[in-house]
Amino acid sequence: MTGLRWGILATGGIAAAFASDLRTAGLDLVAVGSRSQKSADAFAARFDIPHAHPTYEALVADPDVDIIYVSTPHPMHHANARLALENGKHVLVEKAFTVNQAEAADLQRLAAERGLLVTEAMWTRYLPHMVRIREIIADGTLGEIRAVSADHTQLLPSDPAHRLNALELGGGALLDLGIYPISFVWDVLGAPTSVQAVARLVETGADAEVATIMTHARGAVSTTLSSSRAAGPNAAAVIGTEARIEIDRVWYSPTVFRVVRPDGTVIEEFDGRLDENSGGRGMQFEALAAERLVRDGILGGDLLPIAESVAIMGTLDEIRRQIGVQYPGEQG
């Protein structure tokens, strides 16, 4: 097999962005599934997809599909990914991977039992500027890393019925926005050894702002800030004893960074921006990585192992415990 045949589960905005990037990269997008034939047909016509299914069950049963991209809101990720795995499909699941660690661990177990790939669509990890940042860290240019900071702050709808503010829909800034800086911190510093979190909750009980301070191996520290009610710089920094990396706005999308000595000397500037007309938004890199993992039989993942996604969900669980956010159906 030269490439995987992709199916997309659900037809929202993120699904459209992913479909566009698959087409940009020349990958094989063969099917879409929605909750109605009308929406499936419209999406299929927009992206020239041959198979349009009126249900998710029909999509995962399609014999022409090898891998499913799950793009529903995160409270549905567990059930949707499970459905795909039970039907023998590899799965790329939008982030946040699930709503809690228990659901994530269940998908990890099922994928291992079936010999299938399940991986989190944390697209930022696969972008060119992030690939270069990891190389710089690995070659020791920064010296010993002492701190990482990152924010993800946006001015989003405040309507209590909006998905972002409704607990029954997994609402809150943490899982929608905070997953980016939390995953970035994990990528650079590894698992936290301690977690402290504070938040402001809105009238629905969802978190509108969340700030974390975490410690990591060798005493390194990290700070993150997430907000759904105010737009901040959306910048990030990795600070070492010999140099630092300053990542421009918007750090989690294709962008520019600089490596700066303590005296202010810029020793490298990397421009990772893409021409959206020819290079897409950048979501194709995670799709290409998923195809490589399946081709090479690395079903546990490598750049973002499934075990790490499960562990990150544990960190998010602890943050939610500290700030007092619990979703319907979760045990107290």
Q: Which residues contact 161 (CB under 8 A, 6 or more apart)?
A: none
In this predicted structure, the answer to whether residue 103 has a pLDDT above a threshold of 60 is yes
Per-residue tokens: 40: 């499936």
Closest to 152 measured CA to CA, from 75, 203, 85, 208: 208
Shared domain for 168 and 268, answered yes or no, is: yes
pLDDT in tens, 147-170: 999 999 999 999 999 989 999 999
Do 34 and 158 reside in the same domain of the chain? no
What is the radius of gyration, based on Cα positions, of the chain? 20
Vertex 224 angle, CA 247 and 331, to 5°: 140
140 and 276 assigned to the same domain: yes
Tell me, yes or no, whether 243 and 212 share the same domain.
yes
Q: What is residue 289's predicted lDDT score, i.e. its pLDDT?
A: 97
pLDDT band at residue 330 using 50, 70 and 90 as cut-offs: confident
Handedness of CA 287, 288, 289, 295 (dihedral sign): positive
327 part of a folded domain:
no
Same domain, 23 and 115: yes
Q: Distance from first CA to last CA of the chain, Å, rounded?
A: 47
172 shares a domain with 41: no
Indicate if 230 and 117 belong to the same structural domain: no
Task: Give the orientation angle of helix 179-189 with respect to helix 306-323, to 10 degrees.
Answer: 120
Q: Whole-angstrom Cα distance, residue 249 to residue 251? A: 5
- Residues facing residue 91 across a β-bridge: 68, 118
64 in Cβ contact with 30 (< 8 Å)? yes
Residue 1's pLDDT band (boundaries 50, 70, 90)?
very low
Q: Pick the last residue of a domain from 121, 146, 168.
A: 121
Residue 314 domain flag: no
pLDDT at 266: 98
- CB 113: neighbour CB atoms within 10 A? 9
Map residue 247 onto helix, strand or coil: strand
Domain closes at, from 98, 121, 144: 121
Inside any domain, residue 307? no
Distance between CA atoms of 229 and 21, rounded to whole angstroms? 29
Is 307 a residue whose pLDDT tops 50? Answer: yes
User: Considering the chain, what percentage of its residues have pLDDT values greater than 70?
Assistant: 99
Report how far residue 179's alpha carbon sits from residue 198's, in angstroms, rounded to the nearest whole number: 15
Residue 287 lies in a domain: no
Both 93 and 157 in one domain: the answer is no
Q: pLDDT tens digits for 212-253?
A: 999 999 999 999 999 999 999 999 999 999 999 999 999 999
Q: What is the pLDDT of residue 276?
A: 73
Higher-confidence residue of 17 and 278: namely 17
Q: Which residue range is the domain that position 103 belongs to? A: 5-121
Res 264 pLDDT > 80: yes
Clarify whether residues 21 and 111 are in a common domain: yes
Residue 219 lies in a domain: yes
How wide is the angle at C-alpha 154 spanned by C-alphas 274 and 81, nearest 5°?
75
Domain containing residue 58: CATH number: 3.40.50.720
CATH (domain of 222): 3.30.360.10
Average pLDDT over residues 109-133: 98
Grade residue 138 by pLDDT with cuts at 50, 70 and 90. Answer: very high
Segment holding 243, helix H or strand E: none
Confidence of residue 279 (pLDDT cuts 50, 70, 90): confident
Residues 60 and 41: their CA atoms lie apart, in Å, by: 17
Q: Round to whole Å and give the CA distance between 17 and 96.
A: 17
Closest CA to 62 of 93, 103, 29: 29
pLDDT bin (cut points 50, 70, 90) of residue 22 is: very high
Other beta carbons within 10 Å of 45:
10
Distance from C-alpha of 310 to C-alpha of 308, rounded to nearest angstrom: 5
Report the pLDDT averaged over residues 135-144: 98
pTM: predicted TM-score of the whole model, two decimal places:
0.96
| Strands annotated E in 109-220 | 118-121, 145-153, 194-201, 207-215
Q: Chain-wide mean pLDDT for the chain?
A: 96
Given 121, 136, 156, which residue is the final one in a domain? 121
Residue from 111, 118, 113, 189 nearest 150 by CA: 189
Pick from 74-78, 80-84, 210-214, 327-331: least confident: 327-331
Domain annotation covers residue 143: yes
Residues 181, 36, single domain; the answer is: no
pLDDT at 332 over 60: no
- Edge-first strand order for the sheet with 145-153 is 194-201, 207-215, 221-227, 145-153, 236-240, 244-247, 256-260, 266-271
Distance CA 208, CA 186 (A): 22
pLDDT band at residue 331, thresholds of 50, 70 and 90? low
102 and 193 both lie in a single domain: no
Domain count, the chain: 2
**Considering the domain boundaries, does residue 323 fall inside one?**
no
Weakest mean pLDDT among 92-96, 175-179, 183-187, 272-276: 272-276
Residues 155 and 20 in one domain: no
Beta bridge partners of 238: 148, 245
pLDDT at residue 2 in the model: 65
In a domain, 113, yes or no: yes
Residue with tokens 């607990």: 167
